[in-house]
Amino acid sequence: MSFRLTMLVFTLGLAMAAYGQTARPWVEVRAVYGGFPAELLQPGERLDQLGTNAVFVGSGAINGKLVADARAQGVRLFAEFNTMHVASYVKDHPDAAPVGADGKPCPPPYGWQGICPIHEGYRRFRMEEFRKLLQKCPVAGVWLDYLHSHASWERADPALPDTCFCDRCIQEFSKESGISLPQQPRPEVARLLLGEHRARWVQWRCDVFTDWVREFRKIADETRPGTLLGTFHCPWSDTDIAGALREKLAIDLQAQAAYLDVFSPMPYHARFGHPTDLAWISRQVAWLGRYLGIEGKPNERHKIWPIVQLSDWGEPVPLEQVEPVLDHGSRRPATGVIVFAWGGLRKPLDKAKAMSRFFMSIRP
């Protein structure tokens, strides 16, 4: 063991005594999202020696060298895959823009451009890219990102417009539900769907997004069996913000569970208006466990690996919050914890080093 690692272990012992931290053998994944944290390493060291055993990287950055580097560092490599947020597609295919209740293309809230979820060309495009990713590189898993309706929810004041009321969606809903809609101006049809037929409309929209997950699962099983399929998703409960998880975002976690292996809620406490209420993180994770019947026990079918905020986005995350944030994020039913985001931690490295100390303190 190098002198640096020896001193790190000694310092870690002091920190554990001060913080009261003990090993958490149920936490199988201690990960960093947003890049490969090479800056933490000194010559001759490996990431797994510093507590990190997994990295999450955007699918566009996945290549053979990164796969080899992860293997050499003793870490698992996971890919994040953009599902409904390839904004450039709308520029080339304006008919893919979601339509609002006024019958016009809905402006991107806070710049967040979503896509009509039943646009055949866009869905085919994303499924082809998903298959290519799995064919190209042997990643440990792929995490679906942005799998929700046109909205900007990653903020303390979310913007949640009602969409999509394009001709495709209206016709498909009417066909599948058996509900005959009048030939009236689009605002009148939207009023019916958000009023008299709201329950059926909400369920249909949820089913549309769940079917995306079904197809991703099918492709993964066909292309690279054994690859984990996860999702980065909104951390709200089923009653938060008047049930917006289903009512606005069209996320039906219980239905998606038929096709997913891992759920990664995103309780970014500082970004979402809870800068000093760190227990909000573990409360949201505990709710998810109850909602999906996940306890964090060995050999469960599903797992929860929350992604928690250490980098500054919105409110700053001070150094002294690193350990308590990771503490709340790694409590059962969670069996893994992911840190957001490496780009905001590499300079200076104080918070990244505190992350490593915590990871080392909880590993078996």
Q: What pLDDT, in 10s, does the model give residues 236-250?
A: 999 999 999 999 999
Does residue 1 have a pLDDT over 60?
Answer: no
Locate 137 and state its tokens.
């590189």
> Can you tell me the mean pLDDT for 193-197?
98
Six token digits for residue 284:
């949201």
Tell me: pLDDT of 8 over 50. Answer: no
Mapping DSSP to helix (H, G, I), strand (E, B) and coil, where does residue 170 land?
helix
pLDDT, tens digit, 9 for 90 and up, residues 109-151:
999 999 999 999 999 999 999 999 999 999 999 999 999 999 9
Sign of CA dihedral 284, 287, 292, 298: positive
State the pLDDT at residue 15: 46
End-to-end CA, the chain: 18
Does the structure show a pLDDT above 70 at 295?
yes
pLDDT of residue 253 exceeding 70 = yes
Give dist(CA 122, CA 144) in Å, integer. 16
- Other C-beta atoms closer than 10 Å to the C-beta of 282 total 21
Reading the block at residue 179, the tokens are 């509900």
Res 314: pLDDT: 79
Helix ranges (DSSP H) in the chain? 3-19, 64-72, 87-92, 120-136, 167-177, 186-194, 198-223, 244-247, 253-256, 279-292, 322-329, 350-362
Residue 21: per-residue pLDDT: 66
Q: Say what percent of the chain tops pLDDT 90.
A: 92
User: In terms of Cα–Cα distance, which of 85, 55, 77, 33 is closest to 266?
Assistant: 33
**Residue 203: is its pLDDT beyond 60?**
yes
The region that residue 314 occupies, defined by phi over 0 for left and psi between -120 and 50 for alpha, beta otherwise, is: left
pLDDT at site 174: 98
Whole-angstrom Cα distance, residue 44 to residue 12?
A: 20
Band the pLDDT of 6: cuts 50, 70, 90: very low
Query: For residue 304, what are the β-bridge partners?
Result: 263, 334
Bridge partners, residue 37, by sequence: none
pLDDT grade, residue 14 (50/70/90)?
very low
For residue 44, the SS3 value is: coil
Residue 105 · residue 97 · CB < 8 Å: yes
pLDDT of residue 20: 52
User: Domains along the chain?
Assistant: 3-84+120-156+214-362 (3.20.20.80)
Q: In sequence order, which ranges of 234-278 are alpha helices (DSSP H)?
A: 244-247, 253-256
- Find where tokens 């947003």 sit: 34
Residue 73: strand, helix, or coil: coil
Distance between CA atoms of residues 25 and 326, nearest Å:
15
Q: With 90 as the cut, is the pLDDT of residue 2 above it? A: no
- pLDDT tens-digit map of 70-94: 999 999 999 999 999 999 999 999 9
Report the C-alpha gap between 113 and 106 in whole angstroms. Answer: 9
Q: Taking Cα atoms as reference points, which of 122, 164, 147 lies closest to residue 230?
A: 147
CA distances to 5, 42, 58, 310 from 46, in Å: 11, 8, 22, 22
Q: What is the mean pLDDT of residues 263-291?
A: 98
The three-class DSSP label of residue 179 is: coil
Predicted confidence (pLDDT) at residue 5 exceeds the cutoff of 60: no
pLDDT over threshold 90, residue 270: yes
Q: How confident is the model at residue 9, as a pLDDT?
A: 45
Average pLDDT over residues 276-284: 98
> What's the mean pLDDT when you consider all of the chain?
94
- Tokens 């960093």 identify what position? 32
- Residue 168's Cβ-count burial label (10 Å; 0-12, 13-18, 19+) is middle
